[in-house]
Structure 1
């Protein structure tokens, strides 16, 4: 009897198109779900007869309570090589092997700039007006050349965002708790004296930090109050780095020019969530990792992981962060 593999959150219905599943076709039946399961009961019911699960990023938690309800589950594959919503101890206790895949930093870099440019030039407002008979030119674009781009984080993604900013002729500064002048000199940007200085002096602020105890709530009411009235904030990293209540309040009160957000406290975003109607907000449904090349890697390596598991030599094993 073939094993049953469930692919979760295949919203675009491309999981079986962007990778070749034929190497495991004799052993595995693939079932893709294009809707999101919003609670553990629904997920446990849908996966009751499943041996393998492929899940995207950290959208679907796999706590001990869920894993205990999936007696057939033997292999859990998550895209990326870091996942904080899987209970690894429970997986081990129930004999579930957990694997990951590679993930490119290029798509989130590109989406960061799509959001930044869309905000700076009022693309959504102008496009909507043009297509609906609205006014011809209603916004005045914010310039990039010569303006200050402040980066919170200068790692793999932040450093590439910095390089694009430099290509636009921007003055680029960066800050994080452990950032050194040697690192900023290597990238060719300025080291901000402090987080507060970076926020107060930047025309555009972009978040590129990993979520942890030191970064959770890093930008709260006091920090957001430091932004210039003409500044824009971009977050394609993790929701919890920016206090969501403080962000919503700042947007409604017009304390700064606007925000571009790709990550949310609940995903998919509920229909009545206040982020859907917040003013001065350009929001996308967590598209940072969503690209053809990335999906081909995710699902292609998921197939490789399944093959390796079936031969008794699992690869790309995930461990707790």
Structure 2
């Protein structure tokens, strides 16, 4: 098959241990970003399969309709909000989406951001390189309150590490999760207001879907302490648009550590958070780790090879396979 691999920002796809499994296929890897639908359609015209890295490139219907040779979309991970599934199914384009990934990768980055922020590590490193010795008074974690919003497979691990640091861990989850939170040894927040008011460190781990977009509001942020740290390694759209920048400017919360943005990649420093001295920003590194990449892409390659061999796996829309050749070509 003729396969396009999109958005390999760090140019590592061909270095993965799983990559040689595609040796019998014609693989083109794109490292740059193309957001314009018309130009992206022109780029992808000849390809039979597209392998997506997470949600870096959306596949709207307007793009799908311009790809006459496309038979398969393979998604790393199982989130497909950025793909027009109906358009793919209508055109007879199969979508393979397997979970993959490793929760520890995002958990590790979350704690890296928390520690770096609380102890002002990036600032002190930069100052030391410029010949300046000790300029800040850091904040420890022992005895502080860690709020975990979304105690799922990532959030629970973040909570466990917080407890190991001697923090009081309070979790806010979906309705009906209180018993599971308590069974895990943590405290379930009595209500939303108290959760945001009491957290010294508040980390977001809520999955993004139609019900959680904008779930963290300006009012929630305004209730946070002036010395509290908000951490987001989940998705930027969980926070009400514009609310985080405005809240940080007002000083509630006083600090933020952010790995995710509304429109990625953020190039040329074009984001207001990057100019704020009370914010630590990283370029969506949560899952960008060797073992996690091997897991994600190995499952994605299973999807390619299975489809090519006539034994598709991890299909999200098996009904697409019932389309005739003529139906697939219909605009």
Bin of the TM-score, shorter chain as denominator length: over 0.9
1:206, 1:319 → 2: CA distance?
34
Q: What pairs up with 1:254-265 in 2 under 5 angstroms? A: 254-265=251-262
Cα 1:137–1:22 change in 2 (3 A) is: closer
Q: What pairs up with 1:63-142 in 2 under 5 angstroms? A: 63-101=60-98, 102-133=100-131, 135-142=132-139
Structure 2 residue matching 1:53: 3-state secondary structure = strand
Give 5+ residue unaligned stretches, structure 2.
Answer: 319-331
What residue is the counterpart of 2:155 in the other structure? 158
1:166, 1:66 → 2: CA distance?
47
C-alpha displacement of 1:92: 1.2
- Does the alignment pair 1:247 with 2:244? yes
The Cα offsets for residues 154-200 of structure 1, whole Å up to 9 and x where unpaired, read as 11111110000011110000112314332112211101111110110
Cα 1:69–1:162 change in 2 (3 A) is: same
TM-score normalised according to structure 2 size: 0.91
What residue is the counterpart of 1:11 in the other structure? 9
What residue is the counterpart of 2:170 in the other structure? 173
The two structures, once aligned, show a CA RMSD in angstroms of 1.6
Q: What pairs up with 1:33-48 in 2 under 5 angstroms? A: 33-48=30-45
1:319, 1:223 → 2: CA distance?
38
C-alpha displacement of 1:257: 2.4
Of the structure 1 ranges 206-215 and 147-156, higher mean CA displacement relative to structure 2 is found in 206-215
Of the structure 1 ranges 172-181 and 152-161, higher mean CA displacement relative to structure 2 is found in 172-181
Could you tell me whether the CA contact under 8 Å between 1:259 and 1:281 is conserved in 2? yes
2:160, 2:124 → 1: CA distance?
28
1:181, 1:303 → 2: CA distance?
38
Could you tell me whether the CA contact under 8 Å between 1:8 and 1:53 is conserved in 2? yes
Give 5+ residue unaligned stretches, structure 1.
Answer: none
1:318, 1:144 → 2: CA distance?
43
4+ runs deviating over 6 angstroms: none
Q: What pairs up with 1:302-321 in 2 under 5 angstroms? A: 302-318=300-316
Structure 1 residue matching 2:3: 3-state secondary structure = strand
Could you tell me whether the CA contact under 8 Å between 2:228 and 2:252 is conserved in 1? no
Could you tell me whether the CA contact under 8 Å between 1:176 and 1:195 is conserved in 2? no
- Does the alignment pair 1:229 with 2:226? yes
1:223, 1:40 → 2: CA distance?
36
Cα 1:265–1:319 change in 2 (3 A) is: farther
- Does the alignment pair 1:292 with 2:270? no
2:291, 2:29 → 1: CA distance?
19
TM-score normalised according to structure 1 size: 0.94
Could you tell me whether the CA contact under 8 Å between 2:89 and 2:317 is conserved in 1? no
Could you tell me whether the CA contact under 8 Å between 1:82 and 1:318 is conserved in 2? no
